[in-house]
Structure 1
């Protein structure tokens, strides 16, 4: 579902819709990037990309983490990644809707965050590298700690869900006015603009035009 964004320095990950259309989406946080590996909401474009440990390694390389992570992941850590992902999805949806976070979900995040995280190091030439022996547990700890920062920090009230009814994507609204509505203008934003335009230009009594504008 995800493809590495290497052609441009723009932030975000390149996603592919069920019809094969590519679009760039930046959820604004590492922990929300993990949600892009599946659709726990059960909407029509449901998918699962974490099928084996190598998939979690691949996701880490595609994420906003710096390159060059020598990661080793086991089957148990992969299952824990799925559990953490589910907890994060429910917490994200609750925060976006102004609801309380479920204790069972925050416990999952807290337990993952309690493990040692990924460690960065500096070389004699001044380059930033990852310390060796990085594990899946360390990766999940780093993701969970990012979630703690998000849900308790200044952007906690800016966690949003895309307003398109057929979309399950969530993001941190970092825009200055705080009025971001869509996951990406190249996807749901443009579709909304097209529908709104058709609704405005529909002839009086054109029921089909009105229906599409209301979709």
Structure 2
């Protein structure tokens, strides 16, 4: 799983870089239930297609608009699956057992993921088209299975920050979604505490 950061914008307008560490966790930054509602960007199939153009799928091969075929039904399925992940991953990050029904939803989503291919003429990587919404859910589901027992699944330690990430750092001590945001806020808080200033 290679490093690919996304630029996120907080409700306060601050922009910061965030590396979720996995495609299934990257899907969570599109919104979701609870705290994610304020960040929802998936309102129609075109929104999912647009988001995928800058997703981790590009680590394997470039994603082009013409590669994608996201039907309304597939779109709704992906959003429901993403919302299920919002139940599973926070539970795991806090050492709780996810609901059996949510685990079954992951099992049910496991199917054929997008298939990369090599163009025989140019030898460039691309995708076997069309890439469908169900394949997107399958890609996320397959990764989710690998994370179910990962000790490096984390939730940001920042106050009121619910971003989840896979800690891919060598020492395995990442605590923050981003040093530009929650990490910096913690540094400021610690400095003020040491100097006797207001928190």
Instruction: Return the TM-score normalized by structure 1.
Output: 0.83
In the TM superposition, residue 16 of structure 1 has moved relative to its aligned partner by: 0.8
**Does the alignment pair 1:29 with 2:22?**
yes
**Does the alignment pair 1:159 with 2:153?**
yes
How many residues align? The count is 192
In the TM superposition, residue 101 of structure 1 has moved relative to its aligned partner by: 2.2
Considering Cα pairs closer than 8 Å and 6+ residues apart, tell me whether 1 or 2 has the greater RCO.
2
In the TM superposition, residue 102 of structure 1 has moved relative to its aligned partner by: 1.4
Secondary structure of 2:17's counterpart equals strand
In the TM superposition, residue 116 of structure 1 has moved relative to its aligned partner by: 2.0
In the TM superposition, residue 10 of structure 1 has moved relative to its aligned partner by: 6.5
**Consecutive aligned runs of 4 or more in structure 1 exceeding 3 Å deviation:** none
In the TM superposition, residue 173 of structure 1 has moved relative to its aligned partner by: 1.1
Partner of 1:130: 127
In the alignment, structure 2 segments of 5+ residues that lack a partner are none
In the alignment, structure 1 segments of 5+ residues that lack a partner are 1-8, 204-208
Structure 1 residues 10 and 140, CA, compared in 2 at 3 Å: closer, same or farther?
Answer: closer
Partner of 1:200: 194
2:129 and 2:166 mapped to 1: Cα distance? 31
**Does the alignment pair 1:51 with 2:33?**
no
Instruction: Return the TM-score normalized by structure 2.
Output: 0.90
Larger radius of gyration: 1
Partner of 1:186: 180
**Does the alignment pair 1:15 with 2:33?**
no
- Tell me the C-alpha RMSD between the 2 structures: 1.8
2:189 and 2:32 mapped to 1: Cα distance? 25
Structure 1 residues 139 and 190, CA, compared in 2 at 3 Å: closer, same or farther?
Answer: same
